[in-house]
């Protein structure tokens, strides 16, 4: 598959260029497990790092997927965690389900549980890989394959699957027999924290099941929104 070859080549070149300064950030989405397969193939010496965030509210299937990938590829996953005191203060003052009470509270919850732990680690790196795709949502429609992430020290941000369709991702995963979260078999198209994710109908877009009580323009946790600037325009992969 041409798209697969282009993405694999980009990851291989990134490993050669950045080595231990490179990390793949995974939520164990269908895109991320495809990228883990590509990274393992491109980096047999395991110079790059695989990062995951334990928000304290992940679905059980996410951990099952992580364990299946660890067993198949003999990889190590570096888990990132929220600042315990900041999280405790937030829960104590706002409650356990404040994220449904206002957009501001939900964004603060995402920031404490996801954005800050990842940002803390990214600022020690030279480059990172994400599973973002243009097709996922209109908020990502201008995504580029290579970007500069100014919010994280102007490191390089790589989106190898930028132009892939959902069908291409699933074909790649099944063709390579890659473990994936079984939530996808139950109607999920995007996976995050358990209370903030639900299955979607066939006609809904891929992120309709994320924070479904909010307007479409708000359906990002903050990890990607407004954080990257295009470094170079890339031809469609």
Instruction: Examine the residue annotation and report whether 65 is marked as an active-site residue of this protein.
Output: no
CATH code that applies to domain 2-232: 3.40.50.620
Q: Which residues pair with 177 in a beta bridge?
A: none
- Which one of the listed residues 65, 109, 162, 221 is annotated catalytic? 221
Tell me: the pLDDT tens digits for 181-190?
999 999 998 8
What pTM does this model have? 0.88
Sign of CA dihedral 216, 195, 192, 147: positive
Tell me: the pLDDT tens digits for 203-232?
888 888 887 777 765 555 667 665 444 443
Average pLDDT estimate for 157-164:
96
Tell me: the pLDDT tens digits for 7-27?
999 999 999 999 999 999 999
Domain boundaries, the chain: 2-232
CA 25 to CA 56: how far, in whole Å?
Answer: 17
């Amino acid at each position: 598959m041409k798209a697969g070859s282009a993405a694999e080549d980009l990851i291989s070149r990134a490993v050669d260029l950045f080595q231990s300064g490179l990390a793949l950030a995974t939520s164990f989405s269908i895109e991320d497990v495809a990228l883990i397969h590509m990274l393992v193939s491109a980096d047999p010496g395991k110079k790059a790092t695989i990062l995951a965030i334990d928000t304290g509210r992940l679905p059980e299937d996410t951990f099952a997927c992580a364990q299946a990938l660890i067993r198949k590829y003999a990889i190590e996953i570096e888990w990132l965690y929220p600042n315990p005191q900041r999280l405790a203060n937030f829960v104590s003052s706002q409650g356990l389900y404040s994220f449904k009470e206002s957009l501001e509270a939900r964004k603060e919850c995402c920031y404490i549980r996801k954005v800050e732990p990842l940002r803390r680690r990214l600022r020690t790196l030279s480059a990172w890989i994400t599973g973002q795709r243009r097709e996922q949502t209109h908020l990502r429609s201008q995504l580029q394959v290579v970007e500069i992430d100014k919010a994280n020290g102007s490191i390089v941000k790589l989106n190898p699957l930028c132009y892939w369709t959902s069908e291409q991702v699933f074909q790649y995963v099944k063709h390579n027999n890659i473990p994936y979260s079984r939530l996808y078999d139950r109607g999920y198209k995007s996976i995050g924290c358990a209370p903030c994710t639900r299955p979607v109908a066939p006609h809904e877009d891929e992120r309709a099941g994320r924070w479904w009580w909010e307007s479409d323009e708000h359906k990002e946790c903050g990890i990607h929104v407004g954080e990257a600037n295009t470094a170079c325009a890339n031809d469609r992969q």
